Amino acid sequence: MALREIVRMGHPVLRAPAEPVPASAMRSPAFARLVDDMIETMREADGVGLAAPQVGIGWRLFVYEAAGTGSDAIPLRVAVNPVLEPEPGDPVEDWEGCLSIPDLRGLVPRHPAVRLRALDRHGEPYERRVEGFEARIAQHENDHLDGVLFLDRMTSLRSLAFLEEWHRFLVGAAGGRAERPE
């Protein structure tokens, strides 16, 4: 495994819609390496999610995982060619960051629960209902596949803060658990 460079806002790949991963590519060793590298890169960066465009690859693929205690923990998940379907419910605001937009945090409204349909890293389809923090991560990562960044989803930029000031003045202001970037 190897760490990949995480591209930052301003790189065009973050603004381009990603292409579906072809079935033929999914069987290749290069694809397995990409998935492994993304997982390692996410963990090394202390992130809770990473989408392929963030490592310069325009494919519809993301990984996520959040350490935690007990029910807080979100196990490692790989989503290839995902489709998200929001469940009914009022949007919930919470803090987000992004590995491609370092050291900024902002309040972002998201659907409280979504249905995630995707392929796993071996091409096997799965479907899960995810809610809360996991639903937030899935929506954030899925946005990356459409060239959308969390800043685009903020209804107001007034909460936007540098990480240091966020820790000092704002943490906990919205109950925020999403301390770690996605």
Residues 94, 176: contact at Cβ < 8 Å? yes
- Interacting span for Ni ion (CB under 5 A) from 6-14, 34-42, 94-102, 130-138: 94-102
Q: Is 96 in the site for Ni ion (CB under 5 A)?
A: no
Closest CA to 135 of 98, 102, 91, 179: 91
Q: Is 141 considered catalytic here?
A: yes
Closest CA to 141 of 75, 58, 53, 26: 53
Residues 57, 128: contact at Cβ < 8 Å? no
Q: Kindly state the tokens that stand for 14.
A: 């973050």
Q: Is 42 in the site for Ni ion (CB under 5 A)?
A: no
Q: Is 57 in the site for Ni ion (CB under 5 A)?
A: no
**Least gap, CB of 47 to Ni ion (angstroms):** 8
Q: Is 134 in the site for Ni ion (CB under 5 A)?
A: no
- Order of strands across the sheet that contains 92-98: 92-98, 101-110, 161-162
Total residues at interface with Ni ion (CB under 5 A): 2
Task: Give the residue, chosen from 98, 118, 135, 178, that forms a contact with Ni ion under the rule CB under 5 A.
Answer: 98
Which entry of 19, 141, 164, 165 is annotated as an active-site residue?
A: 141
**Least gap, CB of 108 to Ni ion (angstroms):** 11
Residues catalogued as catalytic? 141
Q: Which residues bind Ni ion (CB under 5 A)?
A: 98, 182
